[in-house]
Amino acid sequence: MQAGKERFEVFDHSPMGVFVIRSDFVVLYWNFCLEEWTGIAPETIVGQSIDAFYPQLTKPRYTIRLQQIFEGGPPVIFSSQLHRYIIPVPYIDGKMRIQHTTVSAILDRQTNEHDALFAIQDVTELTFRMHDYRAMRDQALAEVNERKKAEAKMQASLHEKEILLKEIHHRVKNNLQIISSLLDLQTDHISDENSLRFFKQSQARIRSIAYIHEKLYQSEDLTKVDFKEYLLALSQGIFHAFGIFPDEIDLVFDIQDISLSLKAAVPCGLILNEIMTNSIKHAFSGLFENGAHEIKPRIEISLTQSTKKCYELTICDNGKGLPENFQMDSLDTLGLQLVNMLVGQLKGTIEFCNKRPGAYFHISFYDLG
């Protein structure tokens, strides 16, 4: 056995636990590191069968693989996850030292037999840290999953609310249409021209609001109205209400792709309704009849964004122009009084004048919705 000591004594300086056994499982060498871990001195164990100290090593789980080593075969690995330890050694807090072991065949030149050299790496700290890391990672992943679930729930709830909002806009539009139709029915029993005009104007105003709700439930964004689309629909609606065919009056649009909030869109739509109606009713009467004028009646509408929340709406025609001494604040017609009030509601300003030819209205307003 002294020969074994000399053959392997270089392993006394190794930080790994190293021991060597013969094919009959007799211990040939036991290094200092193992003595420190186990408290078993080399003098006690060398020359004895390992079975007397660590009987599990002679179980088939190990012997089946060690057999190849004694035949000079390739090294064998006993990993820490699958075996925990080869040599049970207490660590701290009643835990055992976790080990990763590699066994290699070492040729004894005197006997021409192969011995098994066990090199045991202590991976206890590494394992604990890895477990801590895994626990931390699992916790982080669980939190991420929780967050994802909450987000998905929120998305679902948002989607539900969007559907609900669409439904509300749809119903508001339908109700406004019903009111408009009721007014229409009522007009059948009105013979007084003035009253009839008031009914028609009210109908047009209601329709201008109904279009807003229609555009809202048709749009992706339930808080904004695509104003270009809205203006096209509204102006066609006004023409239809007055029985005007598209080729009778040219409608010229210069409208940027602008979306307005519901808060700004309703007054803005009503303003447009009043001014356009005003033009249709007054601007062209008697002017273009019987080919008296070479130029075709025209209404121009432009809407541009000047700053982040400020917009410019211009409506002009090529008609007779505004009456002399025309004043917005002393108007006695409801339509233009309404325009004045709505501009105030939009925190805007209105300018008007006569261009040669025709009336010109310019409104600057804010969308603070």
Q: Which residues bind another protein (CB under 8 A)?
A: 60-61, 64-65, 68, 72-82, 100, 102, 104-105, 123, 126-127, 130, 133-134, 137, 141
Tell me whether residue 56 or residue 68 sits nearer to another protein (CB atom): 68
Radius of gyration for the chain, computed over Cα atoms and rounded to the nearest angstrom: 47
Q: How many helices (H) and strands (E) does the chain have?
A: 10, 12
Torsion of the alpha carbons at 339, 282, 214 and 304, rounded to the nearest 10: -60
Shortest Å, Cβ 81 to another protein: 4
Tell me whether residue 47 or residue 72 sits nearer to another protein (CB atom): 72
For every residue of 187-201, DSSP letters joined together read: HTT---HHHHHHHHH
Shortest Å, Cβ 27 to another protein: 22
State whether residue 363 is helix, strand or coil.
strand
Tell me whether residue 76 or residue 212 sits nearer to another protein (CB atom): 76
Which helix (H) or strand (E) element contains residue 111? none
Shortest Å, Cβ 105 to another protein: 8
Contacts of 220 (CB under 8 A, 6+ apart): none
Tell me whether residue 43 or residue 138 sits nearer to another protein (CB atom): 138
Give the phi and the psi of residue 309 in degrees, each rounded to 5. Answer: -120, 5
Give the phi and the psi of residue 362 in degrees, each rounded to 5. Answer: -130, 125
Shortest Å, Cβ 142 to another protein: 12
Shortest Å, Cβ 119 to another protein: 9
Shortest Å, Cβ 65 to another protein: 6
Contacts of 283 (CB under 8 A, 6+ apart): 297, 317, 318, 319, 320, 321, 358, 359
Tell me whether residue 143 or residue 160 sits nearer to another protein (CB atom): 143
Instruction: Quote the tokens at residue 29.
Output: 């060498």
Asked if 201 and 192 touch (Cβ cutoff 8 Å), the reply is no
Which helix (H) or strand (E) element contains residue 149? helix 124-187
Tell me whether residue 119 or residue 262 sits nearer to another protein (CB atom): 119
Asked if 272 and 234 touch (Cβ cutoff 8 Å), the reply is yes
Shortest Å, Cβ 56 to another protein: 13
Tell me whether residue 61 or residue 159 sits nearer to another protein (CB atom): 61
